[in-house]
Structure formats: C-alpha cells, structure tokens
A and B are shown apart, each in its own frame.
Chain A
Amino acid sequence: MYKLLLSWRYLRTRYIALASIISVTLGVATLIVVNSVMAGFTKEMHNRLHSILSDIVLESHSLDGFADPQWHMEQIRQVCGDDIAGMTPVIHVPALLRIPFRGDFHTRQINLIGVDKTTYAEVSDFSQYLLHPENQSRVSFLLRESGYAPGRKDFPPSGWEHRRMQAMYEKALEEQRHEIAAAAKSDASLATNNRPPADPYAAGVPKDPYSGSGESELAGTIFDPATEQNTGVILGIATCSIRGRDADGEVRDFYLCRPGDDVQVYFPNAGSSPKPVSCSLTVVDLYESKMSEYDASFAFMPIEKLQELRGMFDPLTNTTYVTSIQMKLKPGADLNAVRDKLRAAFPADQYPYRIETWRDLQGPLLAAVQMETTILNILLFLIIAVAGFGILATFFMIVVEKTRDIGILKALGAPSRGVMSIFLSYGVSLGAVGSGVGLVLGLLFVTNINDIAGWLEWITGHEVFDPTVYYFQEIPTSIQPTMVVGVMVGSVLVAVLASVLPALRAARLHPVAALRYE
C-alpha cells in the first residue's frame, strides 16, 4: 500500500520527472503517427496493387506468347480448379502512344494490354478504375455518348458529344484551308478570311449535324470520325494528362486527349523478326487506379484486335496466342500454395513460364516500404531509448534526494523489495503516463492528420502533402491495434528498465547510512 501511495505522491509532486518523460511522450506519439501513416500507405498500396494485378499470373518469357490459352486454362483448372475464381488471357506488349495535340504528337511509352473485356474485369478490379459509370459496371470498348467522370468539375466534355464537335471543327478547319488555298490561288485578299473557325463550343452543343443527312451514306466507304470510331482503347489517365497547378495554386489536370479522341499506337508484331505495327485507336475511357506507376503506363485494348494486329492468331489452325494468363483465387485460398502447385504443373524445363503471385511481382516495392518502416521504427525507438537514459538520470537524482526517506521506511520495517517496488512502480507509472499522453497525442494527430496538413499548409504556404506527387488526395492512415500495443509496451518497458538500476540502489541502501544522511 505504501508503495502505491508513495509512488503516486512522487508522481504528483515531482514535475521534473514528468519533464524527463516528455521525450517518451513525443517518441510514442511520433511512432504511432509514423507507423499509422506508413501502414496506411502500405495498405492502400496493397489494395491497389492487388486489385490491379489479380492474384496469380502465369506469364510467358517471350513477347510472342504461348499458343492455346484455352488448353492452359483447362490444365490450370485441373490442377487447382477448386481455388480458382476466375481466369483471363492477357497480352502485354511494350508500345508507343502518340497523342495528336495542336498539330503536334506527344509520344509516350506505354504498356499495351490486350484484355478480354468480360473475363478481365472478373479477375481484377480494373473496371472500378474507369471513369464512365457504365463502364465500371460493364466494360465496353465502344465510345459512350457522354457522362464521363460525373462529379469531376474540371473534366472536359467527352464521348460522342466531343467527337462530333471535334469532327465538325476539323471539317470546318479543312474547308477554311481549302478556301484560303483557293483564295490564294485566285489572288483574292487574304485579310478578311484569315481567321480560324469559331470555337464550336461557344455556341453550345449542336445537334448531330449528320443525323438524317445524306452524308451518312458515305459511312462505310470513307472513315467518318463523326459517326465512326476506331477500335477502342482505355488509357491510363497519366499517359494522357498532365497534373499541375494553375495560377491560383489549385491542382488541375490538363488532358492531352480525352474519350472521343483518336490516338496512334505502335508496337512490335510477333514473329522471328518483329516489325513495328501501327494503328489508330479511339480513346473510349480513362483508367485511374491512383497508382501513378500504372496510371502512367497502362493502356487497354480488346485482345482479339491486338492478336490480329500482332499476328498472334493462326487462321489455319484457329489457334490464338497470349502472353499471360491472370487468375483470381477464391477468398481464403492460399496464394503461395496455389502458385507452387502451378509451378509443379508447368515445370520450368518444359514450359518457359513465370508463375508468380501479385506479392512476388511487387516484392521489391513492398519490401522497400517494409524496410523503410522498420528503419523508421528503429530510429524512433532510439528516441525512446534516449528518453530512458533521461529517466535513469532523473531517477538516480530522486533516489539520492529520497535517501533519508528510504532509511525511514526501512527503519519502520519496510523490506528492501518493498522499497525497490516503490521506485519500480514509480517508473511504470511515469512510463504509463508518458506513453499514455503520447498515445492520445499520436491518435489525435493521426485522425486529424489531413486537417493538420492543411493547417500547416496555410501557415507555411508550403504544400505538406502534394497530391501531384503521390496521386493520393489525402494522407492515408491506418491505426493498427497491435502496433499501438507494441509501442506502448515497448515504451513502458524502457521506463521500467531505466528505473531498475535506481530502484536497486534504493533497495541496497543501508538504513543507518540513509538515516544519517543529511
């Protein structure tokens, strides 16, 4: 009882000791904040990576792919059909994207992916990242009339609406060019006619100029961009947009092209001596997974068209070729076990395939984040360890100061163990108070981190969390109970360890020496 009473009184009367645990408080708070943010990033990244990548990929080493995906899927089903929820054949090919913009071509290096629109959406959350709400529920490579990215203020008008407008504008421009050319030929004055055509958007959206007109009869003979589209392509949003700030400092996306525009794509065809193949595609939607790596490199098109263009279809035997098969497992299936079964079923000496889980594929990235978290934890825990030495010094001072009281307690029959536990429980309660306050501070900080970031931004005028860099609108956080408990236990343990030596010293004090101490 006296132990509790005294350690409680020491706690309440000795503010110097409280000062010595401020560093514990700060250490705990920072540990919680850092871990929560890192866990938030990791979790968000896991979620995104996972939903983008599907669970397991069977991939050919060659760009030419392997024949007969149906047979492979049949084999896979035989090996571990119970665990498979869905499969889809996929073609990956590096490609160049050329976006016509103001008479120029913007060239981007992309990863062109041929997908089967029905099954691909089943194995990954691909469709969820599309901008058009109807495409989110059912992917289509046909251009939609309008209604892209509802709720997004600065998204330009897209779809057929835009395509018709664009076609009209081009047509008007073409006509004017003809006129100018004709006028120049006929030596007429240029000045009156030398202006670009009026911006069609200024007059509002016109009716379809071609509907019901005789010109539509031309369709089918000459490609008419106002009524026809090329094969559809879904571009990663960052391949065709530039994120930056306007004059007011607002983050804004500027689109080089949008659904309804035509783009060109170049890629090698399959075969022993690959040659570049080019084709015109119509952007039918944009893909925004918010993983900048993917948003800046992915482009999706129908797999049949890609097979045709790359010569991955043998019309004689009717066999198709693909470069990989993506699989989704049923919930609860063991990722690594299925992978190992597949590896056994497709041994490397017979089948030149790479069979990997999404974790394997993103291993280096996930490991880097993990390593970063570990190092930060070590560094921050060192802060708490330093705080431990502060507590040690303060405790020694307190024990020296309390020498006489220790003598009194012993003279009154308190055993050494009792005296020791006064200082140990003092240390525990100091540690508990310090880390408790740190816990509250840390949790408050984490839950309000975006407000705090906004507030800091407002004070300093600097962007704390730059969405142009991270593709996250907000700082993601995730508070893990085990982490919180671990941090608390660790810091209390440091406080206890730091008080063990002074407590031992107090317990060893000779009562007479302590009583004589003045």
Chain B
Amino acid sequence: MDNFYGLATRTSAAKQSAAGPHVTFPENAPAPSRAAKQEVLLAAHGVEKSYRKGKHVVPVLLGVDFEIADGEFVAIVGQSGSGKSTLLHLLGTLDAPDSGEIHFEGGRIDNLPTSSRDLLRNQYFGMIFQFYHLLPELSALENVLIPNMIADGTFRYWRNRRQYRERAEHLLELVGLSHRLKHKPRELSGGEMQRAAIARALIAEPQVLLADEPTGNLDSKTGEEIMEILRTLNADQNLTIVMVTHDAAIASQADRIVRLAEGRVQAA
C-alpha cells in the first residue's frame, strides 16, 4: 500500500499530498508494509561499478548480490577502498551502477528518472555520513527541517511549518539534542552533529536508513551512544538500517554483517 511505485505513478499533485501523512508521524504505529517481516525491502543484483581515471579503469564492484529484509539492521564491512561507500551510494540512488540492478520494495529503482530518484531520496531513504554533512549556515533545527523544505513548495511549507517544527524538535529530543536547537554546526561537537544528522535523516519518516560510517569520526563512547540510538530506532520503530563500518565491535551490534572484498560480497 505505502509503496513507492504507487506514489511515483501518481500525478505530481498527488505526490505532494502523499507527503502529507508524514506531518503526523505515527509514533508507535508501524507502517503497514513493515508489518510483513522478512519481506525483502532493498536488494542489489549483480551490481558492477568501476571508476574511470583517464585511461585507467578502476573496478570497484564486480557483481554484488545481496538482499536486505524489511526491519533488518545490516552492517557492511570491508577494507578501506573495498567499495563500501560506493555500494551505499548505489543503494541510495546517488549514483547509477554500470550494470546490475537495485531493487526497492520489489521494483527496480536504479533506472528511474531523476525526479523520481530525488523523491525517493527525499521521502524513502534517510542518509547519515561520516562527516555529518550538516549545512554550516543553518542551525541544528533548520538542518533537520531541510528535507521538509525540499519536499514542499514555499507556500505549503509555510502553512505546515508549525507541525514540521514540532516534529523536528521532537526528533532532536529523541536523539538527545533538545538543548542545542539554535546552534550552528560549528558550535556543536562531533557527536552532537551526528545526532542532528540522524534527526534530519528521520524527519521524512524514511523506510531505510543508509549510514556511511556514522561512528567513524567519533570516540568510542560517543560512537556507542550513536549506535544506541540506531539500535533503538531499529528495535522500536522497525526501521531498516544499512550501515557501513570499519569497526568490528560496532558491526557486531547489527543483525547481520555483509563483508565486501574484491568487489564481491564474501560469505560471512
């Protein structure tokens, strides 16, 4: 029912109204599609990707196959340069594979038109990065609200700004940052920035959280706190999480570990 393809085939006006339900975040009621556990949510089929550097072709992924079930917490591990970030970007439609397919909710997404992929990233995927990637000119609260601003036109956003703001404040409270709403990123510590980034990733009520080394730049204690938040999200809200990491201790907290080496998924 709450299917991306259903949305994508509607008119753009319908898309706008489809964004409406996000305003009232059903806190504890899981989304209908999540009710069916073990259903494959996100999958990579024979994904290949190589970078071209002048005459050199750098093969990074040589046929990656794996599936992520709805509600699963997957950790992708591998050596530096093994293509973990590349794979995550492909899963999140930030980049297109040379060959192979990415599937989301059973449909292929890597060949969708740009506008549909923009909508997908805005509404269905949440992303977290190693270097937090907050916008330096905006306060923590405004950073969290950016996906809403992107989704809505100016007028629509203005009409809904109170509900959005309430929800953003609620999310910031959830990640433990309610005392830093008005602070700019440079006035925040690394852990605090990552909390804000998580709140931003959650504001559009995504189906999947894609995290690229979310603890990579933090000390172990702060990293542990961030992991706590992610685990809670996964457990309480049944949020599907795909996390890239170096750290074996961090990876072990996930439901499943996918090891990437020599461009392929290795048996764990």
Contacts and interface: CB of A to CB of B under 8 A. Distances in A.
A422 B118 CA distance: 17
B136 A405 contact: yes
A411 B121 contact: yes
B150 A511 contact: no
Given A415-B118, A512-B95, A5 B142 contact: yes
A386 interface: no
A45 interface: no
A1 B158 contact: yes
Interface stretch (B65-73, B76-84, B127-135, B230-238): B127-135
Interface string B242-266: 0000000000000000000000000
A405 B154 CA distance: 20
A5 B149 contact: yes
A404 B133 contact: yes
Contacts of A416: 114
Interface in A371-422: 404-405, 407-416, 418
Contacts of B118: 410, 413-415
Indicate the size class of the contact surface on chain A.
20 to 34
B94 A413 contact: no
A5 B139 CA distance: 11
Contact of B138 (A9, A407, A418, A518): A9
Choose among A4, A6, A411, A518 the residue with the greatest number of B CB atoms under 10 Å from its CB: A411
Interface residues of B, number: 33
B123 interface: yes
Contacts of B121: 410-413
Contact of B94 (A1, A6, A13, A411): A411
B138 A515 contact: no
Contacts of B142: 5
B168 to A, nearest CB: 14
B133 A4 contact: no
A313 B228 CA distance: 118
A517 to B, nearest CB: 11
B102 interface: no
Nearest to A414: B150
B114 A413 contact: no
Contacts of A413: 118-123, 147, 150-151
A187 B123 CA distance: 128
B137 interface: yes
B157 interface: yes
Interface in B95-149: 95, 114-115, 118-123, 127, 129, 131, 133-138, 142, 146-147, 149
Interface string A494-518: 0000000000000000111001001
A6 B142 CA distance: 10
A471 interface: no
B115 A412 contact: no
A10 interface: yes
B137 A412 contact: no
Contacts of A414: 118, 122, 150
A512 B49 CA distance: 13
A1 B123 contact: no
A1 B157 contact: yes
Interface in B78-94: 89, 92, 94
Choose among B94, B95, B120, B136 the residue with the greatest number of A CB atoms under 10 Å from its CB: B94
A510 B95 CA distance: 8
B151 to A, nearest CB: 7
Contacts of B173: none
A2 interface: yes
B152 interface: yes
Given A5-B142, A415-B118, A512 B127 contact: no
A2 B94 CA distance: 20
A389 to B, nearest CB: 26
A512 B89 contact: yes
Nearest to A413: B122
A510 to B, nearest CB: 8
A114 B92 CA distance: 94
B212 to A, nearest CB: 9
B153 interface: yes
Contact of B137 (A13, A404, A418): A13
Contact of B133 (A1, A415, A418, A515): A515
Interface string A345-362: 000000000000000000
Contacts of A408: 133-135
Given A6-B135, A6-B137, A9-B137, A412 B150 contact: yes
B149 A2 contact: yes
Nearest to A2: B149
Contact of A415 (B89, B94, B115, B153): B115
Contacts of B95: 510-512
A416 B121 CA distance: 13
Nearest to B147: A412
Contacts of B147: 412-413
A409 B114 contact: no
Contacts of B134: 408
A511 B95 CA distance: 8
A424 to B, nearest CB: 15
Contacts of A410: 94, 118, 121
Nearest to B203: A412
Contacts of A5: 138, 142, 149
Interface in A1-60: 1-2, 4-6, 9-10, 13
A323 B134 CA distance: 86
A411 B153 contact: no
B146 A409 contact: yes
Contacts of A407: 133
A10 B137 CA distance: 7
Nearest to B197: A408
A107 to B, nearest CB: 78
B122 to A, nearest CB: 3
B120 A515 contact: no
Nearest to B143: A408
A401 to B, nearest CB: 10
A508 to B, nearest CB: 12
A416 B113 CA distance: 13
B202 to A, nearest CB: 12
Nearest to B123: A413
A410 B152 CA distance: 15
B184 to A, nearest CB: 10
Contacts of B92: 411
Contacts of B157: 1
Choose among B118, B134, B147, B154 the residue with the greatest number of A CB atoms under 10 Å from its CB: B118
Interface of B: 89, 92, 94-95, 114-115, 118-123, 127, 129, 131, 133-138, 142, 146-147, 149-154, 157-158, 200
Given A6-B138, A409-B135, 12 more contacts: A1-B152, A1-B154, A5-B138, A6-B135, A407-B133, A409-B146, A409-B150, A410-B94, A410-B118, A413-B119, A414-B150, A416-B114
Q: List the 3 closest pairs (A to B, CB-CB), nearest first.
A: A413-B122, A9-B137, A2-B149
